[in-house]
Structure 1
Amino acid sequence: MATEFGDTVPDRRVRVQGEPVASWPRVTAEVERGAVRRITVVGEEVLGRRCREVTEFGTAGLARLIDDMFATNHAAAGAGLAANQVDVDLQVFVWDITDDWGVRHVGHIVNPVLDEVSADDRQLVEEPEGCLSVPGPYRVVPRLDRAVVRGRDKDGNPLVIDGRGYFARCLQHETDHLHGRLYLDRLVRRERKTALREMRDAADEVFARRAAAAKRLGKEPVA
Structure 2
Amino acid sequence: MGFFDRGHEKESPLGNLRAHIGTFMYYVKVGKSKFKNKGAVGAIFVDMDNTKFLFQQATSGTMYMYDMKKKLDYTLWDAAIHKYTEDIQKLKDELLKAVDEGEENGSFMEEKEEEKKAEEEKEKEKEKTTEEEPIGDWKAHIKGQMKEAEEKARREEEERQKEKEQIVAAAEDTNEALTEADCRELWRLIQGLEREYKEMNRIADEWFAVHGKKTGCLTALVGMTLIPLGAMYGLYYLL
- Normalization by structure 2: what TM-score? 0.21
Q: Which has the greater radius of gyration?
A: 2
Greater fraction strand = 1
Greater fraction helix = 2
- Normalization by structure 1: what TM-score? 0.23
Instruction: Tell me which of the two structures has the higher relative contact order, counting C-alpha pairs closer than 8 angstroms and 6 or more residues apart.
Output: 2
